[in-house]
């Protein structure tokens, strides 16, 4: 059995953090959904199509577009405020085949009750959330729940703002480290060594044809988007209060180099899909 790093303690992503997450976290380009369709042969037939699980779904950035490709998608997350935002987003976008459940990766074995004696899942997706979980135990629990030809996709939706290879990202990291008084080096599961551990854990659990597919594109962050995305990643107890936030934002933006474009700060986003078949 290949060892994987123990999961980190889950922070508090409630309240304003969840609201910023819903408004500012980047979504997934259509090419990512195309990869999932091709890899797992997803079926959206209303009666016999696939059931998909978005584990650590947050506010639904992946579950909502995935809903168009399957019969039903279940968004599972341990934070009620995240699920509240996800449900509201589903209502606004007219998504009617999504279910939102409070829970963690430890609750995955209970999904067997959805279809006793069967393999109810066509696909499980985990987007930038596996670092809060126990990959080995999770994949072993998912394997007997997944239909033949279905599987798991661990998706890293680009590096965190403070971990990119740009001058503005390095300046942002330095500003955050000065503010918090400690290193800011979390990769959120996007580090190559972590991805290798996840691939080994998928294979150890019995998933086959484990491979990585990459979707890359360019984008530009406005200063408001940069700050909003950052606020979505700071645990609630450490998030500057509404009164403190203008000064905090001013200090950070002043530490950054001038934007290279009139629109803001350029990003090269590398979405990695690590997939394994049941």
pLDDT digits (tens, 9 = 90+) for 184-197: 887 787 888 899 99
Q: Domain of 112?
A: 16-159+185-219+266-277
**Residue 223 scores a pLDDT above 80:** yes
Q: Is the pLDDT score of 150 beyond 60?
A: yes
In a domain, 213, yes or no: yes
Residue 228, SS3 per DSSP: helix
pLDDT in tens, 74-96: 999 999 999 999 999 999 999 99
- 259 belongs to a structural domain: no
Tokens coding 216: 């890359």
**In-domain check, residue 110:** yes
pTM assigned to the model:
0.92
* Alpha carbon distance 50, 130 (integer Å): 22
What percent of the chain shows pLDDT beyond 90?
85
Tokens of 132: 């809060």
- Residue 2's pLDDT band (boundaries 50, 70, 90)? very low
The whole-chain average pLDDT of the chain stands at 93
CA distances from 4 to 138, 139, 255, 274 (A): 12, 12, 37, 16
Q: Is residue 52 part of a domain?
A: yes
Domain tally, the chain: 1
Q: Report if residue 230 sits inside a domain.
A: no
The β-bridge partners of 276 are: 152
> Is residue 158 classed as helix, strand or coil in its secondary structure?
coil
Give me the DSSP letters along 21-71: HHHHS----HHHHHHHHHHHT----TTT--EEEEET-TTSTTHHHHGGGSS
Interval 91-135: pLDDT, tens: 999 999 999 999 999 999 999 888 787 899 999 999 989 988 999
* pLDDT above 50 for 178: yes
Distances (CA, A) of 153 to 104, 111, 112: 17, 18, 19
The CATH code of the domain that includes 76 is 3.40.50.150
* pLDDT(1) > 60: no
Q: For residue 78, tell me if it sits in a domain.
A: yes
Phi and psi angles of residue 161, each rounded to the nearest 5 degrees, phi first: -55, -35
91: in domain: yes
Residue 7 has pLDDT above 70, yes or no: no
181 φ/ψ sector (left φ>0, alpha ψ -120 to 50, else beta): left
Sign of the dihedral defined by the CA atoms of residues 99, 102, 104, 108, in that order: negative
The per-residue DSSP string of 187-218 comes to -TT-SHHHHHHHHHHHHHTT-EEEEEEEEEEE
Q: Summarize pLDDT for 191-218 with one digit per residue, the tens.
A: 888 999 999 999 999 999 999 999 999 9
CA dist., res. 31 & res. 95, Å (int)? 20
Distance CA 207, CA 151 (A): 7
For position 262, what pLDDT does the model report? 78
pLDDT at 3: 41
- Does any domain span residue 249? no
For the chain, give percent helix, strand, coil, nearest 5.
40, 20, 35
Give CA–CA dist 154/53, Å, rounded.
12
């Amino acid at each position: 059995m290949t060892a994987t790093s123990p999961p980190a303690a889950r922070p508090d992503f409630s309240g304003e953090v969840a609201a910023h997450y819903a408004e500012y976290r980047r979504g997934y380009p259509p090419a990512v959904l195309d990869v999932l369709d091709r890899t797992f042969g997803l079926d959206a037939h209303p009666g016999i199509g696939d059931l998909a699980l978005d584990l650590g779904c947050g506010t639904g950035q992946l579950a909502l577009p995935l809903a168009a490709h399957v019969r039903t998608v279940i968004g599972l997350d341990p934070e009620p405020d995240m699920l509240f935002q996800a449900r509201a987003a589903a209502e606004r976008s007219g998504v009617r085949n999504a279910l939102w459940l409070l829970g963690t990766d430890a609750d995955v074995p209970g999904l067997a009750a959805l279809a006793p004696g069967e393999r109810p899942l066509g696909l499980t997706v985990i987007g930038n959330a596996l670092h809060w979980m126990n990959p080995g135990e999770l994949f072993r629990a998912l394997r007997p729940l997944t239909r033949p030809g279905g599987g798991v996709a661990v998706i890293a939706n680009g590096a965190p703002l403070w971990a990119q290879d740009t001058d503005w990202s390095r300046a942002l990291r330095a500003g955050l480290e000065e503010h918090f008084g400690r290193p800011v080096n979390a990769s959120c599961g996007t580090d190559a060594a972590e991805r290798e551990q996840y691939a080994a854990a998928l294979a150890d659990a019995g998933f086959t044809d484990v491979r990585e597919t990459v979707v890359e594109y360019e984008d530009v962050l406005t200063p408001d988007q940069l700050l909003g995305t950052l606020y979505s990643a700071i645990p609630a107890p450490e998030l500057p209060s509404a009164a403190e936030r203008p000064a905090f934002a001013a200090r950070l933006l002043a530490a950054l180099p001038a934007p290279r474009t009139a629109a803001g700060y350029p990003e090269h986003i590398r979405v990695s899909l690590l997939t394994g078949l049941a």
